[in-house]
Amino acid sequence: MNVTGHTRRPASIRDVATAAGVSYQTVSRVINGHPSVRPSTRERVLAVIDELGFRRNATALALASGRSRAVTVLTANTTHYGYASILRGIEEAARAASYAVGIGVLESADEPAVAAEVQRAADASGGLIVIAYDPAGVRALAAVPAELPVVGVVETPTSPPGGDRPWVWTDDREAAHEATRHLLSLGHETVHYVAIPSSTRRTGARTTGWRQALQEAGAPEPRPVQGSWGPAGGHAAGLRLAKDPSVTAILCGNDDLALGVLRALHETGRSVPGDVSVAGFDDAPHSAYLTPSLTTVRMDFTGLGRAAFALLHGVLEESAPIAPHPVSVPELVVRESSGPPQAGG
Amino acid sequence: MNVTGHTRRPASIRDVATAAGVSYQTVSRVINGHPSVRPSTRERVLAVIDELGFRRNATALALASGRSRAVTVLTANTTHYGYASILRGIEEAARAASYAVGIGVLESADEPAVAAEVQRAADASGGLIVIAYDPAGVRALAAVPAELPVVGVVETPTSPPGGDRPWVWTDDREAAHEATRHLLSLGHETVHYVAIPSSTRRTGARTTGWRQALQEAGAPEPRPVQGSWGPAGGHAAGLRLAKDPSVTAILCGNDDLALGVLRALHETGRSVPGDVSVAGFDDAPHSAYLTPSLTTVRMDFTGLGRAAFALLHGVLEESAPIAPHPVSVPELVVRESSGPPQAGG
DNA sequence: GGCATGAATGTGACCGGTCACACAAGGCGC
DNA sequence: GCGCCTTGTGTGACCGGTCACATTCATGCC
């Protein structure tokens, strides 16, 4: 292809039309698979399309048709495992549907900054997926103008922050419930919790699940320790908890926090799982290789991302059926970091 | 704003023009800051723009002007720390320049699959940034049509795979050199290397730096062990190396590999750094919190991403000066996992 | 006072597609 | 043989901007 050498502008449908001896509208019909085109004509046009290396101009298509075949993901974070995996799932599904994926990072949770990002994203694409696991994301979801198609990836479906917007989620509450039950079943009197920042100022879904499991077991309910997202926050929280000798089991809001907690316990001379059991959340790739390897709850973030895109896709093209909000089921993975409390605990 | 309630289509420049009693061209001049508009007219138009909530349609702008103010990042990976951080840097710089950022994942390194992704990216944006640390990325960079602006993020600047395309890089060779020297200076007879998959089939920059340091010190040159990207590969490599009692120092191509190596050494009863010293690459967020904490080389991935965008920005807008390829300097971070060999080595 | 000059503004075509509609030719029923 | 429907194709307007050029009007200069 490109035999003529000094080809500058890519071929348009009118170029193809001229070369094939038909009108541009006929070319348009061919590339859109319109039925009423004589087979011989279609063949000829297709041949010219191939010869000229014609590709339909996405910008012109978007302008003329009003739909852009592009979605933008708004997220506060791109490097954390969970967020990055969701993004990966979205991209995967979008690629399969020939959609372009844009990304916008919510650097700050400031109202004006968030609004600006939402605007930027709205300008660039026909639909939005907002990862609303944190205050910035929640605010962004709320700031999306009503007429713009959007799907939220939210922490919990009860009283969704975006009103009646479609959303996807994983059952974090149940997952936390299960992990807590696991630790209790090993014989621990109670389970302490190091929390990730919640999407709302009130308690998040993971905190709720943990608390419910304690209540059901009649175990004492310690105050959750506030962590951040990263290992540094877990480390600080771990140092605080290590001071209390009655602490024998710690559930962490994610694996990064758990890593920090493990480190803090190591530094203070408490063995895991001998003195203290630790469980995380997410099953990040490194968790299986830590020493001790980390008991955690595996979340299907990639599947969550795919589901989010599928939902948005359904909204954008009436043709595509809108799947019911799919709930992926988290799975407890028991590893070395959890075990029964020591006799002399 | 949006007082009228049932506003449907967003306002266009002609809507603004009508409301302000001027022609659409005058509105265009105002939003583009053209000098020859009477101040009173400008005021009036700006007021109407504000009142109608007018935003310039990015699609129409792209179609009419030919430039799209959007770049697409092609990468084989979105979840690994290094890749994700580069992406973050790109997004940051793009946001500052009011550019949209798209993302395309190279799921396979197959020639046709890669070509299809490049096409998709080309359709969606005016410029590409290709992360060419791996075969898929290298192939993608080579497949970019000559007329499309592109910047490569490459492993090593010598004989760049993309020909005369602009590129950015960090000095991985020098970084590996420094890390190896560090281990040798502790008294180790030699340093073994667990390699990441290189961008080319031949030796990568990190391997070269490691080898050079060994040669300069007159140390024996063991064969590098081939790892993959993740901890699983490091674990397998670590088990192999652990069999050899003469191994006292291991340099790993990245922190994930190092994590797997640490785990393998633990499983085989070798202490770190007592029996074996381990060093990684990248300084991922969790590396400081491992037990033992990981000696590694900190790479400024975010800065690298910013530089990549700056370069592409310069190419896309003649106005923006094309900065010289900036080399960010990696920094050795010494932690617990490296120390002198035991006397009875 | 006539005219070149530049500032301020408007008009028409265009970017590359889509959409609504017009129109010619062929098959069928009556 | 006429009308009518269907099939295949072409024409003009439009999406929302930009660009090149035309036009109007107030100045400044000789």
CATH among 3.30.450.20, 3.30.70.890, 3.40.50.2300, 1.10.10.10 for B67-170+300-329? 3.40.50.2300
How buried is residue A71: exposed, middle or buried, by Cβ count under 10 Å (0-12/13-18/19+)? buried
Average pLDDT value for residue range A10-36? 94
Query: How near does any CA of chain B get to the CA of A289, in Å?
Result: 6
Query: What is the CATH architecture assignment of B13-56?
Result: Orthogonal Bundle (1.10)
Q: What does the pLDDT read at residue B325? A: 58
Q: What does the pLDDT read at residue A324? A: 61
Q: How far apart are the first and last CA of chain B?
A: 75
pLDDT at residue B72 tops 50:
yes
The reply to whether A64 Cβ lies less than 7 angstroms from strand C is yes
Residue B327's pLDDT band (cuts 50, 70, 90) = low
- Using CA atoms, how far apart are residues A92 and A308, in angstroms rounded to an integer? 11
Question: In the numeric block, which tokens belong to residue A63?
Answer: 């302008």
Q: What does the pLDDT read at residue A317? A: 85
- Using CA atoms, how far apart are residues A16 and A38, in angstroms rounded to an integer? 17
pLDDT at residue B198 tops 80:
no
Is B328 in a helix, a strand, or coil?
A: strand
DSSP state of B125: -
What are the residues facing A297 on neighbouring strands? A332
In chain A, residues with a C-beta closer than 8 Å to the C-beta of B59 are: 59, 62-63, 68
pLDDT in tens, A317-344: 876 666 665 567 899 999 999 999 986 5
Average pLDDT value for residue range A229-251? 95
**Every domain of chain A and the residues it spans:** 13-56, 68-170+300-328, 172-299
pLDDT at residue A45 tops 50:
yes
Q: Half-sphere exposure of A60 toward its Cβ, with a 13 Å CA cutoff?
A: 8
CATH class in words for A172-299: alpha beta
Residue A2's pLDDT band (cuts 50, 70, 90) = very low
Q: Are B153 and B304 in contact (CB under 8 A)?
A: yes
Question: In the numeric block, which tokens belong to residue B1?
Answer: 């704003």
Contact (CB<8Å) A120/B289:
no
Contact (CB<8Å) A88/B78:
yes
Query: Which of B4, B6, B92, B103 to mutate to probe the A interface, most A CBs <10 Å?
Result: B103
CATH class in words for A68-170+300-328: alpha beta
The reply to whether B58 Cβ lies less than 7 angstroms from strand C is no
Which is more confident, B161 or A66? Answer: A66
pLDDT at residue A52 tops 50:
yes
pLDDT in tens, B230-255: 899 999 999 999 999 999 999 999 99
Contact (CB<8Å) A103/B95:
no
> Separation of CA A322 and C1' C24 in angstroms?
43
Average pLDDT value for residue range A65-78? 94
In chain A, residues with a C-beta closer than 8 Å to the C-beta of B286 are: 231, 256, 259, 286
Matching CATH topology for B13-56 and B67-170+300-329?
no
In chain B, residues with a C-beta closer than 8 Å to the C-beta of A79 are: 81, 84-85, 88, 285
Residue B215's pLDDT band (cuts 50, 70, 90) = very high
Q: What does the pLDDT read at residue B155? A: 82
Provide, rounded to the nearest whole percent, the portion of chain A with pLDDT above 70: 91
Q: What does the pLDDT read at residue A345? A: 42
Q: Are B132 and B141 in contact (CB under 8 A)?
A: yes
- Residue that has been written with the tokens 């799919």 in this structure: A326
Residue B273's pLDDT band (cuts 50, 70, 90) = very high
Nucleotides of strand D lying closer than 7 angstroms to a protein CB: 7-12, 14-20
Q: What is the mean pLDDT of chain B?
A: 90
Average pLDDT value for residue range B20-32? 95
What are the residues facing A226 on neighbouring strands? A195
In chain B, residues with a C-beta closer than 8 Å to the C-beta of A256 are: 285-286
Of A87, A92, A123, the CB nearest to B58: A123
Residue A161's pLDDT band (cuts 50, 70, 90) = low
Is A300 in a helix, a strand, or coil?
A: coil
pLDDT at residue A63 tops 80:
yes
B-chain residue closest to A8, CA distance: B147
The reply to whether A319 Cβ lies less than 7 angstroms from strand C is no
B-chain residue closest to A291, CA distance: B263
pLDDT in tens, B141-186: 999 998 899 999 988 766 555 557 888 988 889 999 999 999 999 9
In chain A, residues with a C-beta closer than 8 Å to the C-beta of B99 are: none
Nearest CA-CA partner of B75 in B26, B21, B118: B118
The reply to whether B38 Cβ lies less than 7 angstroms from strand C is yes
A-chain residue closest to B284, CA distance: A79
Q: Are A252 and A281 in contact (CB under 8 A)?
A: yes
Residue B283's pLDDT band (cuts 50, 70, 90) = very high
pLDDT at residue A207 tops 50:
yes
pLDDT at residue A29 tops 80:
yes
Which is more confident, B213 or A230? Answer: B213
User: Which fold, B172-298?
Assistant: Rossmann fold (3.40.50)
Q: What is the mean pLDDT of chain A?
A: 90
pLDDT at residue B128 tops 90:
yes
pLDDT at residue B200 tops 60:
no
The reply to whether A35 Cβ lies less than 7 angstroms from strand D is yes
